[in-house]
Amino acid sequence: MAPVNISFVSDMERQNCRVAENEAGKVLEDEGYYVQIPDKKADYAEFENPEFRSLGNCIRFRSIFLTAICIALIMCLSLLICLSQPGLAPSKSVKDTAWSKQSASKFLMPSIIKGESLPSFADERTSFHFQPERNWMNDPNGPMFYKGYYHFFYQYNPDAAVWGNITWGHSVSTDLIHWHHLELALVPDQWYDVEGVWSGSATILPDGKPVILYTGSSNESLQSQNKAVPEDLSDPLLRKWVKVSQNPMLVPPPGIGHTDFRDPTTAWLESDGLWRIAIGAKEGTTGLALVYKTSDFLNWTLQRSFLHQIAGTGMWECVDFYPVSLTGTNGLDTSKVQGNQLVKHVLKASLDSNKHDYYTIGTYSTDLKTFVADDPTRDVGLGLRYDYGKFYASKTFYDPAQERRILWGWANESDSQLDDIKKGWASVQTIPRTLVLDHHTGSNLLQWPISELDSLRGDKVVKQDILLDGGAMLKVDGASGAQLDIEVTFKYPDVQTLDVPLEQKECVCSQGGAAQRGVFGPFGLLVLAADDLVEQTAVYFYLTLRPNGKWMTTVCSDQSRSSLAKGIDRTVYGTSINIAPTENFLSLRLIVDHSIVETFVQQGIACITSRVYPTLAVERDAHVLLFNNGSESIAMHTLEIWQMSNA
């Protein structure tokens, strides 16, 4: 097998690598080496990475003596680690279930054995999420509807499972679930995009013609905005795209760095007859969105005022800007909205500094051409996120076929870059989500998987009205599997009838995850759970009763015990949510697809995406359990679990 080519490199190359590292969100530099993209599958025993060297040596020397010492050391170390983490077993006082009869050693044994072997990766590929057949993918680009087909483009490296050589991949679908992969739409073949055809958007002009605007990165890392049009408008699949001769159309204006000018939005038409686009940028550490206007998509004028800016947020990537209806649930075409009477506008920026997508709701002044957030304390980068897990560089589009606004988001891997190379692929897109303004609050969006996903629902298990005592854990029979759609509701505890302790610890998801013991929670679901629970992904609520009698509700997605494999990000994600006093229930919807768990809380008021890599809890060995790790009982009201087919 061909070894992966690893070399120490010059400062310039290091800089390039750092860009790649940012894209992947994974740190290589600390490990003292840079990976160059291999042409063929890697031979891991050849890695010079110190982390792998010890394992590699054990294999290479084939000395029984040395191997035995290696194994003994690893076993001792694993045992020590396991013993120092009582949270590995979900709860010591579980009731109602066979799990409670298992001894602690039973929980620990498989991790010792499994931890020594590298995972096989066979079960990690998703079955109904959007993924190219192989290699690296990142941002969603230019989603649109044209002549009966949904078109989806994406940042794609056709050569390897790591970021680099970025092109636009292209796929089409009639239902946003089943996809047909086409040839690359745009490749780096011009001086202005030779370092990558980076992110951008599509606009459908009033005559029905689509236009793509995208960022090119030159070999001097100059970021410019460029245009491409379909070669043959009669082809509904739009297989061929032509870059116009006037490219590059826009280069960074004075005051904006040549690497801080990227990701044009879909253009919108205003009442003055001019089209406008927003482009992400920064000045110092102030993140901002520039606006350019045009009548012909070739000649552009920079607007003097920014669309919006927020100090301290750093570079804004993949800005998105669109209206939402104050009166209905239909989506809106940005170009067809005039005036502000019946709409609010949403501004989203993907913060390069922390790789999170922040949005805010506010008013777009058609006079001043600027945006003002309704609540400055929850402005871009300060407040709401689309998703509190692994979700970045998202983009929406208006679907004229069903009059809805749809959100796409990139869910990167949580395993190591070396794992990605071995798998031969990296990243998925989350299930497309419809977006509407939450009319109860007026201050947040609601996200929900597109209704087309329901077509994959198969066999169903239903349970109703189960009281989960404090410490309970209940396996849901007939619901095992790695492809599931789950909806569950719980009742709020009736505090009138309870003697509630005054001292209640507030929940911080990352402090112990689902293994915390509270009064009202953690309670929720375990999915992708192994027989003996050595692997489990917990999604749960944790309630705290405030002195004013109101609940503080936190929701978490705990991937810290999802996998026995090594080198995996074990962050416990979560957020607190505001529940209206009229809502006397708590609800979760979980979309489980092998290595991704997408959670929709309270009809979409908050979302959390986790990437998980079970090694034992796969296929029919992946179970679902209800659990309550708090001391007070919790009533589960309804539980519905569907097996999901492949897309």
Point out which residues bind ligand DQQ (CB under 6 A).
23, 138-139, 155, 166, 198-199, 215, 262-263, 317-318, 350, 393
Residue 119: cis peptide before it, omega within 30 degrees of 0: no
Question: Which of 265, 239, 356 is closest to 318 using CA atoms?
Answer: 265
- The rounded distance, in Å, linking the Cα atoms of 637 and 643 is 20
CB 228 within 8 A of CB 242: yes
How far apart are CB 141 and ligand DQQ at their closest, in Å? 9
Report the first-to-last Cα separation within the chain, whole angstroms. Answer: 34
How far apart are CB 22 and ligand DQQ at their closest, in Å? 8
C-alpha distances out from residue 353 to 272, 316, 381, 453, Å: 36, 9, 10, 33
- The rounded distance, in Å, linking the Cα atoms of 130 and 410 is 10
Question: Which of 463, 625, 639 is closest to 537 using CA atoms?
Answer: 625
- DSSP class of residue 194 equals T
How far apart are CB 348 and ligand DQQ at their closest, in Å? 13
- DSSP class of residue 176 equals S
Active site residue 139: yes
- The rounded distance, in Å, linking the Cα atoms of 128 and 259 is 36
Catalytic residue among 30, 43, 123, 139: 139
Residue with tokens 């505001």: 578
Which residue lies nearer to ligand DQQ by CB, 275 or 391? 391
How far apart are CB 214 and ligand DQQ at their closest, in Å? 8
Which residue lies nearer to ligand DQQ by CB, 152 or 627? 152
- The rounded distance, in Å, linking the Cα atoms of 640 and 463 is 7
Count CB neighbours of 366 within 10 A.
14
How far apart are CB 277 and ligand DQQ at their closest, in Å? 14
How far apart are CB 135 and ligand DQQ at their closest, in Å? 13
Query: What does the block give as tokens for 574?
Result: 């979560």
Which residue lies nearer to ligand DQQ by CB, 317 or 632? 317
CB 266 within 8 A of CB 211: no
- DSSP class of residue 251 equals -
How far apart are CB 318 and ligand DQQ at their closest, in Å? 5
Dihedral sign for Cα atoms in the order 158, 119, 117, 565: positive
- The rounded distance, in Å, linking the Cα atoms of 284 and 4 is 38
What amino acid is encoded at 272 in this protein? D
How far apart are CB 116 and ligand DQQ at their closest, in Å? 35
C-alpha distances out from residue 556 to 176, 429, 571, 575, 603, Å: 28, 21, 11, 7, 16
Count CB neighbours of 446 within 10 A.
22
Cα–Cα–Cα angle for 166, 359, 253, nearest 5°? 55
Which residue lies nearer to ligand DQQ by CB, 261 or 397? 261
Residues taking part in catalysis: 139
